[in-house]
Amino acid sequence: MPSLVAVELHTSPWHAHIACGLLVSEGVHAVVANEHHVWANWRLSQALGGVRVLVPAAQLEQAAAVLRARDCGAYGDALCQAFGDAPPGCRSCGGRELTYVRDPVARSVAFVMTLVFGVSFAPAIIGTTCRACGTRIRAAH
């Protein structure tokens, strides 16, 4: 059996499965490990290293190249070309590196819920910020 190595670490099993699915679709044998720790106890799972995407050591470079292409937006560009949508970008400078802005009240509630009840959730996204020029764009509701 080939030895498996971690190519990516995630805090969310959903993100790990999306990355694993992308790798499999590109011909890389990949599996998700330690996802059940998240379901049992999220805080403990972080102490154990989170959810890992594992690939055979022989395919590590290929897997890393696929994930780099994903991070650079290559797959997003292909989707936009296939479906005719314009890629998301900054309205001011046209930059494509956007970060999510989350509601500060929801972030505080999520923090308290995690501390008190051990239940965590992702706060609502209220917009994006362009990394290039700093322009804030409110999400359409």
Q: What pLDDT, in 10s, does the model give residues 14-73?
A: 899 999 999 999 999 999 999 888 777 777 777 788 899 999 999 999 999 999 988 877
Instruction: Kindly tell me if the per-residue pLDDT of 8 is higher than 80.
Output: yes
With H, G, I as helix, E, B as strand and everything else as coil, classify residue 7: strand
pLDDT score recorded for residue 87? 62
Q: How far apart are CA 131 and CA 21, in angstroms?
A: 28
Q: What pLDDT, in 10s, does the model give residues 67-98?
A: 998 887 788 777 777 777 666 678 888 787 88
Which class for 40: exposed (0-12), middle (13-18), buried (19 or more C-beta within 10 A)?
Answer: exposed
Q: What pLDDT, in 10s, does the model give residues 124-135?
A: 778 888 888 988
Q: How far apart are CA 121 and CA 123, in angstroms?
A: 6
User: What is the value of pTM for the model shown?
Assistant: 0.63
For residue 89 the two structure tokens come to: 């970008």
